[in-house]
Amino acid sequence: MKYRTVIEITADAENRDGAIDLAGEFLKGELEESGITMKWKSTPLKNRVLFHTGIFLVFAFVAIGTTSFGYLKSTPVTSGRTHGVSAFQPPLKTGRVTSFKKVWKDEENKKALDRIRK
């Protein structure tokens, strides 16, 4: 398993080059106690890869969703004027029967009048 290790070395030095020299000597083991402090942190690299992969997938899904939503919203919907073809429900078999229409209208009118009278 691979690990990522971050080492922070703090030293009192005159300038940048002096600090780099002190850190190098400290890491070689040539300096024991000279006011240099070292902090480190090791984390498994596997977790970082999974984290970055997850972030990438989330951004990819958001980008795909955004672009597809814009495409779908701007797609024109054409409706065919074909008689007897419906995308939502099949045509009613009572469409050509006039006696059914008359009975239905009479019942609806009767219900409306009853509501008005109450």
DSSP 10: E
**C-alpha to C-alpha distance for 107 and 101, rounded to whole angstroms:** 10
- Please count the structural domains in the chain: 1
Please name the residues in contact with 94: beta carbons below 8 A apart, sequence gap of 6 or more. 100, 101
Q: Is residue 113 part of a domain?
A: no
Cβ-based neighbours of 27, under 8 Å, separated by 6 or more: 9
Range of the domain at 9: 3-74
pLDDT in tens, 9-50: 888 888 989 888 888 888 888 777 677 888 889 887 777 777
Report the pLDDT value the prediction gives residue 111, as an integer from 0 to 100: 93
21 lies in some domain: yes
At 45-96, the pLDDT tens digits run 777 777 888 899 999 999 888 877 666 655 555 655 666 555 676 666 666 6
Cβ atoms of 39 and 6 closer than 8 Å: no
pLDDT of residue 27: 84
Q: What is the pLDDT of residue 19?
A: 86
